[in-house]
Amino acid sequence: MSERKEYYVYALKDPRTSPARPFYIGKGVGSRRFDHLNVDDGSAKADRIRAIREAGFDVIVSILADDLTEAQALKLEAELIGALGTVVGGGILLNRVMPSGLAQQRRRDINVPTGVQEKAQIGLSLLKEAVLELAQANPEGISNADAASVLGLRSDYRGKQKDYLSYSILGILLGEGKIRRIERTRRHVATVK
Protein backbone atom coordinates (compact mmCIF):
# COMPACT_ATOMS: atom_id res chain seq x y z
CA MET A 1 0.00 0.00 0.00
CA SER A 2 1.46 3.36 -1.00
CA GLU A 3 1.63 6.34 1.33
CA ARG A 4 -1.19 8.84 0.91
CA LYS A 5 -0.28 12.05 -0.90
CA GLU A 6 -2.53 14.48 0.95
CA TYR A 7 0.07 16.96 2.22
CA TYR A 8 1.07 20.33 0.83
CA VAL A 9 3.63 23.02 1.61
CA TYR A 10 2.40 26.59 1.85
CA ALA A 11 3.62 30.14 2.39
CA LEU A 12 2.04 33.08 4.18
CA LYS A 13 2.97 36.24 2.25
CA ASP A 14 2.89 39.91 3.07
CA PRO A 15 1.03 41.82 0.27
CA ARG A 16 2.47 45.16 1.39
CA THR A 17 5.62 44.44 -0.62
CA SER A 18 5.91 43.89 -4.35
CA PRO A 19 6.38 41.09 -5.03
CA ALA A 20 4.59 39.79 -1.93
CA ARG A 21 7.27 38.41 0.38
CA PRO A 22 6.86 35.14 2.32
CA PHE A 23 7.13 35.46 6.08
CA TYR A 24 6.14 31.92 7.09
CA ILE A 25 6.50 28.45 5.50
CA GLY A 26 4.52 25.43 6.69
CA LYS A 27 3.16 22.03 5.75
CA GLY A 28 -0.31 20.67 6.26
CA VAL A 29 -3.43 18.89 5.11
CA GLY A 30 -6.96 20.14 4.67
CA SER A 31 -7.40 23.73 5.81
CA ARG A 32 -4.21 23.87 7.95
CA ARG A 33 -2.81 26.79 5.95
CA PHE A 34 -5.61 29.06 7.20
CA ASP A 35 -5.30 28.17 10.91
CA HIS A 36 -2.68 30.87 11.50
CA LEU A 37 -5.12 33.56 10.41
CA ASN A 38 -7.51 32.71 13.25
CA VAL A 39 -5.10 32.30 16.19
CA ASP A 40 -3.24 35.09 17.95
CA ASP A 41 -0.61 33.18 19.93
CA GLY A 42 1.50 36.24 20.68
CA SER A 43 4.16 35.18 18.19
CA ALA A 44 5.96 37.42 15.69
CA LYS A 45 3.93 35.66 12.97
CA ALA A 46 0.66 36.64 14.68
CA ASP A 47 1.96 40.21 15.04
CA ARG A 48 2.72 40.33 11.30
CA ILE A 49 -0.75 39.01 10.42
CA ARG A 50 -2.32 41.65 12.66
CA ALA A 51 -0.19 44.45 11.12
CA ILE A 52 -1.16 43.35 7.59
CA ARG A 53 -4.85 43.43 8.52
CA GLU A 54 -4.56 46.78 10.31
CA ALA A 55 -3.02 48.21 7.12
CA GLY A 56 -6.18 47.11 5.25
CA PHE A 57 -4.74 44.06 3.48
CA ASP A 58 -5.30 40.30 3.59
CA VAL A 59 -2.49 37.81 4.12
CA ILE A 60 -1.75 35.91 0.90
CA VAL A 61 -1.88 32.15 1.51
CA SER A 62 -0.11 30.26 -1.29
CA ILE A 63 0.21 26.53 -1.75
CA LEU A 64 3.74 26.03 -3.07
CA ALA A 65 3.50 22.26 -3.69
CA ASP A 66 0.74 19.74 -3.15
CA ASP A 67 -0.01 16.05 -3.67
CA LEU A 68 2.90 15.19 -1.35
CA THR A 69 3.50 12.43 1.16
CA GLU A 70 4.21 13.60 4.70
CA ALA A 71 7.91 12.79 4.27
CA GLN A 72 8.08 14.79 1.02
CA ALA A 73 6.28 17.73 2.64
CA LEU A 74 8.63 17.69 5.66
CA LYS A 75 11.69 17.64 3.40
CA LEU A 76 10.44 20.47 1.18
CA GLU A 77 9.38 22.55 4.20
CA ALA A 78 12.84 22.10 5.76
CA GLU A 79 14.58 23.00 2.48
CA LEU A 80 12.52 26.16 2.02
CA ILE A 81 12.98 27.30 5.62
CA GLY A 82 16.67 26.55 5.27
CA ALA A 83 16.95 28.46 2.00
CA LEU A 84 15.01 31.53 3.14
CA GLY A 85 16.25 31.42 6.74
CA THR A 86 14.59 32.58 9.91
CA VAL A 87 14.81 36.15 11.18
CA VAL A 88 16.82 34.82 14.15
CA GLY A 89 19.43 33.50 11.73
CA GLY A 90 19.42 36.58 9.45
CA GLY A 91 16.72 35.36 7.05
CA ILE A 92 13.18 36.54 6.32
CA LEU A 93 10.90 33.91 7.90
CA LEU A 94 9.13 34.15 11.23
CA ASN A 95 9.04 30.37 11.74
CA ARG A 96 9.99 29.39 15.29
CA VAL A 97 12.41 26.55 14.64
CA MET A 98 15.41 28.01 16.45
CA PRO A 99 15.63 28.26 20.24
CA SER A 100 16.47 31.83 21.23
CA GLY A 101 20.17 32.45 21.66
CA LEU A 102 21.30 29.40 19.71
CA ALA A 103 22.63 31.35 16.75
CA GLN A 104 25.03 33.28 18.99
CA GLN A 105 26.59 30.17 20.56
CA ARG A 106 28.86 29.08 17.71
CA ARG A 107 32.61 29.28 17.35
CA ARG A 108 33.84 32.03 15.07
CA ASP A 109 36.05 29.65 13.08
CA ILE A 110 33.11 27.41 12.07
CA ASN A 111 31.56 28.10 8.66
CA VAL A 112 27.78 27.66 9.04
CA PRO A 113 26.00 27.33 5.68
CA THR A 114 22.72 29.21 5.39
CA GLY A 115 19.78 27.11 6.52
CA VAL A 116 21.61 24.33 8.36
CA GLN A 117 20.56 25.55 11.81
CA GLU A 118 16.91 25.68 10.73
CA LYS A 119 17.13 22.15 9.30
CA ALA A 120 18.71 20.88 12.51
CA GLN A 121 15.98 22.48 14.62
CA ILE A 122 13.23 21.00 12.43
CA GLY A 123 14.89 17.59 12.81
CA LEU A 124 15.20 18.07 16.58
CA SER A 125 11.53 19.01 16.80
CA LEU A 126 10.54 15.82 14.95
CA LEU A 127 12.80 13.67 17.17
CA LYS A 128 11.30 15.20 20.31
CA GLU A 129 7.78 14.53 19.03
CA ALA A 130 8.65 10.90 18.23
CA VAL A 131 10.19 10.21 21.67
CA LEU A 132 7.29 11.94 23.44
CA GLU A 133 4.71 9.94 21.45
CA LEU A 134 6.60 6.74 22.34
CA ALA A 135 6.49 7.69 26.03
CA GLN A 136 2.79 8.59 25.82
CA ALA A 137 2.01 5.20 24.24
CA ASN A 138 3.82 3.36 27.05
CA PRO A 139 2.44 4.47 30.43
CA GLU A 140 4.78 2.04 32.24
CA GLY A 141 7.67 4.13 30.95
CA ILE A 142 10.44 3.87 28.37
CA SER A 143 14.18 3.67 28.83
CA ASN A 144 16.85 5.35 26.78
CA ALA A 145 17.63 1.95 25.24
CA ASP A 146 13.96 1.60 24.26
CA ALA A 147 13.96 4.97 22.52
CA ALA A 148 17.28 4.28 20.77
CA SER A 149 16.25 0.81 19.58
CA VAL A 150 12.62 1.37 18.62
CA LEU A 151 13.21 4.69 16.86
CA GLY A 152 16.43 3.64 15.12
CA LEU A 153 18.61 6.16 16.96
CA ARG A 154 21.48 3.83 17.91
CA SER A 155 24.94 5.06 17.09
CA ASP A 156 27.64 2.91 15.56
CA TYR A 157 30.55 5.32 15.77
CA ARG A 158 33.76 3.32 15.36
CA GLY A 159 31.93 0.14 16.24
CA LYS A 160 30.78 1.37 19.64
CA GLN A 161 27.11 1.39 20.57
CA LYS A 162 26.41 4.68 22.35
CA ASP A 163 22.93 6.10 22.64
CA TYR A 164 23.83 9.72 23.26
CA LEU A 165 21.29 11.10 20.77
CA SER A 166 18.31 9.51 22.52
CA TYR A 167 19.77 10.54 25.92
CA SER A 168 19.95 14.12 24.63
CA ILE A 169 16.35 14.04 23.44
CA LEU A 170 15.17 12.61 26.77
CA GLY A 171 17.16 15.29 28.58
CA ILE A 172 15.55 18.06 26.54
CA LEU A 173 12.07 16.64 27.19
CA LEU A 174 12.89 16.37 30.91
CA GLY A 175 13.99 20.00 30.93
CA GLU A 176 10.78 21.04 29.17
CA GLY A 177 8.73 19.12 31.74
CA LYS A 178 7.13 16.90 29.10
CA ILE A 179 8.46 13.68 30.62
CA ARG A 180 9.69 12.67 34.06
CA ARG A 181 11.95 9.90 35.28
CA ILE A 182 10.41 7.20 37.47
CA GLU A 183 12.34 7.22 40.75
CA ARG A 184 14.96 4.46 41.20
CA THR A 185 14.51 3.28 37.60
CA ARG A 186 15.85 4.12 34.17
CA ARG A 187 12.36 4.62 32.77
CA HIS A 188 10.63 7.81 31.72
CA VAL A 189 6.92 8.60 31.49
CA ALA A 190 5.11 11.36 29.67
CA THR A 191 3.68 14.16 31.80
CA VAL A 192 1.58 15.51 28.92
CA LYS A 193 -1.11 13.66 27.02
Domain boundary among 97, 127, 150: 97
Confidence of residue 5 (pLDDT cuts 50, 70, 90): confident
Q: Is the pLDDT of residue 78 over 90?
A: no
Q: What is the pLDDT of residue 101?
A: 39
Contact 23, 40 (CB under 8 A): no
Q: Do 68 and 129 fall within a single domain?
A: no
Q: Do 92 and 14 fall within a single domain?
A: yes
Q: In 10 A of CB 99, how many CB atoms?
A: 13
Q: How far apart are CA 187 and CA 144, in angstroms?
A: 8
Q: Is the pLDDT of residue 6 over 60?
A: yes
Q: Do 55 and 135 fall within a single domain?
A: no
Q: How far apart are CA 81 and CA 165, in angstroms?
A: 24
Q: Is residue 111 part of a domain?
A: no
Q: What is the pLDDT of residues 84-140, one digit of tens each?
A: 888 887 889 998 764 433 444 556 778 877 777 777 878 888 898 899 999 999 999
Q: Is residue 104 part of a domain?
A: no
Q: Is residue 107 part of a domain?
A: no
Please name the residues in contact with 74: beta carbons below 8 A apart, sequence gap of 6 or more.
Answer: 27, 122, 126
Mean pLDDT of the chain: 86
In CATH, what number is assigned to the domain containing residue 177?
1.10.10
Q: Do 74 and 135 fall within a single domain?
A: no
DSSP designation for 104: G
Contact 116, 82 (CB under 8 A): yes
- Tell me which residue range forms the domain holding 38: 7-97
Q: What is the pLDDT of residue 105?
A: 52
- Long-range Cβ contacts of 168-171 (<8 Å, 24+ apart): 169/124, 169/127, 169/128, 169/131, 170/131, 170/144
Q: Is the pLDDT of residue 154 over 90?
A: no
User: Going edge to edge, which strands form the sheet with 179-181?
Assistant: 142-143, 187-190, 179-181
Q: Do 121 and 51 fall within a single domain?
A: no
Q: What is the pLDDT of residue 100?
A: 37
Q: How far apart are CA 56 and CA 39, in angstroms?
A: 18
Q: What is the pLDDT of residue 109?
A: 79
Q: Do 12 and 42 fall within a single domain?
A: yes
Q: In 10 A of CB 171, how many CB atoms?
A: 13
Q: Is residue 81 part of a domain?
A: yes
Q: What is the pLDDT of residues 12-48, one digit of tens each?
A: 999 999 999 999 999 999 999 999 999 888 889 999 9
End-to-end CA distance of the chain: 30
pTM of the model: 0.60
Q: How far apart are CA 181 and CA 183, in angstroms?
A: 6
Q: Do 93 and 11 fall within a single domain?
A: yes
